Chains A and B, each alone.
Chain A
Amino acid sequence: MLEKNDREFQKAKIEWEKNTLDPALSKYSERKDGFQTTSGIKKERIYTNEDLSDSDYVEDLGFPGDYPYTRGVQPTMYRGKFWTMRQYAGFGTAEESNNRYRMLLDQGQTGLSVAFDLPTQIGYDSDDPISYGEVGKVGVAIDSLEDFEILFKGISLDKVSTSMTINAPASVMLAMYIAAAEKQGVGTDYISGTIQNDILKEYVARGTYIFPPEPSIRLITNVFEFCSENVPNWNTISISGYHIREAGSTAAQEVGFTLANAIAYVETAVKAGLDIDKFAPRLSFFFNVHNDFCEEIAKFRCARRLWAKIMKYRFKAENPNSMKLRFHAQTGGSTLTAQQPLNNIVRVTLQAMAAVAGGVQSLHTNSFDEALALPTEVSAGIALKTQQIIAHESGIADVVDAMGGSFYIEKLTEKIEEKSEEYIEKIDSMGGMIKAIDSGYVQREIQRSAYEYQLEIENNDRIIVGVNEFRVSEEDKHDLLKIDMSVQDNQIAKLKKLREKRDNNAVSEKLRQLRDAAETDVNLMPLIIDNVKNYATLGEICNTLREVFGEYRDTAGI
């Protein structure tokens, strides 16, 4: 039967080429000589079941909620519950950010996502000279537990899940969250959320590192261990391809480098004696969504399959939850244009559709004005509505993995997986991710892709509407959110008061204990929590650790 089908297929295909395709091509050539994805994968004219002849349904796709999770990590996906709509927000003071969070929750947002300003992300207090001009600019300024108490005022921490984009000082922010929850009467069993806590991508793509890799990964492992015993619903890390992609990588590099980072964390934790099936279920991922609709859907599907295989075969995990790649996605910031900014609403919609079709667990949609400034209340509202329209009106959420089985999507899923695996193998052969970063390999690969992409735009090989084609003269001004210097002044004044009213002897003693412990290999989390509760500031805690761990310096090169 199958053979007969195959013979008929081949016959029909040859006839189509001869009678239909060739005459059309001889009259009208195609728009380009060849088409390819951003990862350099050749796009054929058409895909058929012939392209799937090597694939095995049960082994390669399986059913949703079952290994290898290609079709999704839950059996019913969004038929049960929609993804979490989680908009990244935060700016200025804790009071202002608290207002924005309450506005988003009132509009139906289902999870919080905290953006911190750069001094906070790099472990400096607002009154540190190096913070000058940066306080409250790209996120909220946090100096002590006092700020956290204000940030979550009126928001019950047992009712929302909170994601915090914090890496080098992730342990300190988690400690503050735990302490703030405790003040609300909420115990560690009842809080849920995520800290990004992914330092390796900071060295290659995002830049908010403090300490060298070794002590940084020790802090990460401390968090894994502490949470597996005390904070059962906390995602201890969000291993992030987002920033790697924003820095200019291709989709395949995004998957390859992110999973290679993940491998490095798992290896370190296993080496430290942690039980893989205890900590791995709390690992989570964070990916980008760009414009090539099918490539992005395929990317998410292949990432799930590849991670499941890595956990099962490389790390011998047995708990199915260790093998499930759960991820947050954000639409691609670098795809937004400053020209004709309203067009970005359409880009964001396409990208968000791809994330949902790709089986995302939580999603941030960018606001249309983010190539110009931080989002206003209006633009942030539209971004959230975009997700609600996709969820309730598009119909895409009613079927699990609606794009699965498309000849093209399945082939692309295989191709991206192959390419990502090549990167992982290459990094393995260099001795692992830390060595690959040390040698500058990952940075160079990303940089090369970024430059090639820009040259495509420059040469009009890639059209960006409103940028290198379809330009119009634009006169109208947009309302932009501005952060003024009063934020910094207020923050510094608050800090001064805090240092006057707290028990400074207790703080010095706690910081001394932390310094001593950092010299040994005990878990630092309990001491960090202790410090935070005594209102030691973020800067004081990080400076204490700087004394012991030293600081990372980038050996820049282009």
Chain B
Amino acid sequence: MKEPIRILVGKPGLDGHDRGAKVISSALKDAGMEVIYTGIRQTPEQIVNTAIQEDVEAIGLSILSGAHNILLPKIVELLDKNGAGNIKVFAGGVIPDEDIEFLKDNGISDVFTPGSSLERVVDVIKQTLNRE
């Protein structure tokens, strides 16, 4: 049997709305994953450091402040710089359709917008990590 998926859930930037991040964390736990939740108001550097320290396979970033196009690519870039480019990064929150392509081009594996089902979030993460 494979080890459970280890995933970091974090909130980059100054946005404090953590309902989504907490609901997703609970759902990922219920799906058998090991979840490390960073809490709110994390800088990209803090998120990357925690991800590396905790040796996670994936990061889920929740952001509702509109700063996604700046902060999310920065996190991917920092992961690469620190030799952790293998960590998959997912994003969720209030992210307009037209920004999703930009984020995917900048290393975000998938983006979950409002109304996404928990089941789909879990499935996509498992599929991306080849852990079905």
Contacts and interface: CB of A to CB of B under 8 A. Distances in A.
B94 A556 contact: no
B89 interface: no
A150 interface: no
A137 B65 contact: yes
Interface string A105-137: 000000000000011011010000011111001
A337 interface: yes
Given A133-B67, A373-B94, A558 B117 contact: no
A338 B115 contact: yes
B94 A118 contact: no
Contact of B15 (A124, A207, A338, A480): A207
A404 to B, nearest CB: 33
Contacts of B16: 202, 206-208
Q: Which of A134, A246, A334, A555 is most buried by chain B, counting CB atoms within 10 A of its CB? A: A134
A558 B25 contact: yes
B77 interface: no
Contacts, number: 105
Interface string A459-493: 00000101110000000010010110100000000
Contacts of A482: 96
A485 to B, nearest CB: 8
A122 B113 CA distance: 26
B96 A373 contact: yes
B17 to A, nearest CB: 7
B26 A451 contact: yes
B23 A454 contact: yes
Contact of B18 (A133, A207, A455, A467): A207
Q: Which of B14, B17, B23, B25 is most buried by chain A, counting CB atoms within 10 A of its CB? A: B14
Contact of B66 (A121, A464, A483): A483
B118 A133 contact: no
Given A134-B65, A339-B115, A372 B17 contact: no
Contact of B43 (A130, A208, A557): A130
A371 interface: yes
Interface string A436-455: 00000000000100110011
B35 A122 contact: no
Interface in A228-266: 246-248
Given A118-B65, A134-B65, A246-B19, A468 B117 contact: yes
A553 B27 CA distance: 25
A458 interface: yes
A467 B115 CA distance: 6
Nearest to A454: B23
Nearest to A446: B19
A516 interface: no
Contacts of B29: 558
Interface string B11-35: 0011111110011011101000001
B4 to A, nearest CB: 16
B85 interface: no
A138 interface: yes
A334 B66 contact: no
Given A206-B17, A454-B23, A371 B94 contact: yes
A115 B15 CA distance: 14
Given A337-B115, A556-B40, A248 B19 contact: yes
A118 B13 contact: yes
B116 to A, nearest CB: 9
B81 to A, nearest CB: 17
21 contacts: A118-B14, A118-B65, A206-B17, A207-B15, A207-B16, A207-B17, A246-B19, A334-B19, A337-B115, A339-B115, A371-B94, A371-B114, A447-B22, A447-B26, A450-B23, A451-B23, A477-B98, A480-B96, A555-B39, A556-B40, A558-B37
Interface of A: 118-119, 121-122, 124, 130-134, 137-138, 202, 206-208, 246-248, 334, 337-339, 371-374, 447, 450-451, 454-455, 458, 464, 466-468, 477, 480, 482-483, 485, 554-558
Q: 7 tightest CB-CB pairs across the interface, nearest first?
A: A207-B16, A556-B39, A133-B70, A118-B14, A133-B67, A137-B66, A338-B114
